[in-house]
């Protein structure tokens, strides 16, 4: 089982460039999430999607957009990258919305550097 797959694993961008992080899960989960992890900050939720066709903002949504393409795929787009968006990005999925009882399954992360 692949679980949660993220691409790319590494990316270097220049300020102002755009890019999309891709995420796919094969566990038939309804809910998907994008987090960013910075040193000393833990994980912060950027956006989440409770189900296909719905998305909601998390703690730090500014500068990002998301698309829930179908039940399997949830992409994160940076329209105009800034150095402050240098981070490790994690996609996750869960069976139950809002993770009230469901555990999250994480991808391996996408390491983004913005110069």
Partner 1 sequence: SQQGEEDPQALSIQEGENATMNCSYKTSINNLQWYRQNSGRGLVHLILIRSNEREKHSGRLRVTLDTSKKSSSLLITASRAADTASYFCATVWAQKLVFGQGTRLTINP
Does 42 bind partner 1 (CB under 8 A)? Our answer is: yes
Nearer to partner 1, 17 or 75 (CB): 75
CB nearer to partner 1: pick between 24 and 107: 107
Q: Annotate each residue in 79-108 with x if it binds partner 1 (CB under 8 A) or - if it does not, as one string.
A: -----------x-x-x---xxxx-xxxxxx
Question: Before 31, cis peptide (omega within 30)?
Answer: no
Tell me the two tokens of residue 9: 């694993």
Asked if residue 68 lies in contact with residue 31, where contact means CB atoms within 8 angstroms, the answer is: no
Using CB under 8 A, which of 34, 48, 64, 74 touches partner 1? 48
Write out the two tokens for 66.
């998301």
Torsions phi, psi of 84, nearest 5? -65, -15
Helices and strands: H and E segment counts in the chain? 0, 11
| List 27, 41, 82, 115, residue binding partner 1 (CB under 8 A) | 41
Could you list the residues that contact partner 1 (CB under 8 A)?
4, 33, 35, 40-43, 45, 48, 58-59, 90, 92, 94, 98-101, 103-109
């Amino acid at each position: 089982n692949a679980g949660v797959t993220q691409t790319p694993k590494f990316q270097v961008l220049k300020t102002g460039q755009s890019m999309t992080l891709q995420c796919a899960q094969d566990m038939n989960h309804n809910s998907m999430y994008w987090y960013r992890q910075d040193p000393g900050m833990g994980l912060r939720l950027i956006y989440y999607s409770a189900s296909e066709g719905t998305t909601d903002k998390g703690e730090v949504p500014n500068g990002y957009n998301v698309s829930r393409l179908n039940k399997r795929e949830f992409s994160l787009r940076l329209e105009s990258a800034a150095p402050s968006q240098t981070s490790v990005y994690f996609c996750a999925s869960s069976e139950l919305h809002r993770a009230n009882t469901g555990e999250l399954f994480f991808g391996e992360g996408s390491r983004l550097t913005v110069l």
